[in-house]
Amino acid sequence: MTAAGQGGDLSTGEANKALARRWFDEGWSRGELDVADEIFAPEFLLGGRPVGPQGPKESVRLRRTAFSGLTVEVGLQVAEGPWVASWYTTRGTHVGEFAGLAPTGRVISSEGIQLWRVEDGQVVEDRNVFDVARVVRQLRAPEGAAPGPAPFATCRSE
């Protein structure tokens, strides 16, 4: 892989960051689920459970069904060895059931941190934390009193 405009090969850390950004953009924001077969290893572990590429595909399907216009913006990323951590912000409109709540039509935002282990250019393990409680608070708040949105993850280091 060549670094854009630099003419050199990307370091492992930079390649792993690019892989994570690709999944957030193509998989989550655009709903292009076939890319999961390229990004995730057949033995991919999600939270310690073997799910292969089908696990991430199903996660995206469920969230994109509950939230139309779902987008994910990646902010700060840190990489060391085979590990890459990404801080991200999600936004979308609640149009389907989520956490037992009927559609509200509200625009929500929240944030999370994802930690991936990458081997041979594919993700083999994912540990993540997403602020579901913030989403639920936004959906349950009385009309006109929804909590403020999550800040965009904008601390991106280039």
Q: Convert the pLDDT of each residue in 105-154 to its tens digit.
A: 999 999 999 999 999 999 999 999 999 999 999 999 987 766 665 665 55
CATH among 3.10.450.50, 3.30.70.20, 1.10.3720.10, 3.40.50.1980 for 12-140:
3.10.450.50
Task: Read off the tokens for 133.
Answer: 């409680």
Which run of H or E residues covers position 14? helix 12-22
Report pLDDT digits (tens) over 18-63: 999 999 999 999 999 999 999 999 999 998 999 999 999 999 999 9
For residue 156, the tally of other CB atoms under 10 A from its CB is 15
- Report the percent of the chain where pLDDT is more than 90: 82
Residue ranges of domains in the chain:
12-140
Q: What is the dihedral of CA 150, 101, 46, 37, to 10 degrees?
A: -90
pTM of the model: 0.85
Q: Where are the beta strands (DSSP E) in the chain?
A: 40-46, 49-50, 67-80, 83-94, 107-119, 122-130
Report the pLDDT value the prediction gives residue 143, as an integer from 0 to 100. 78
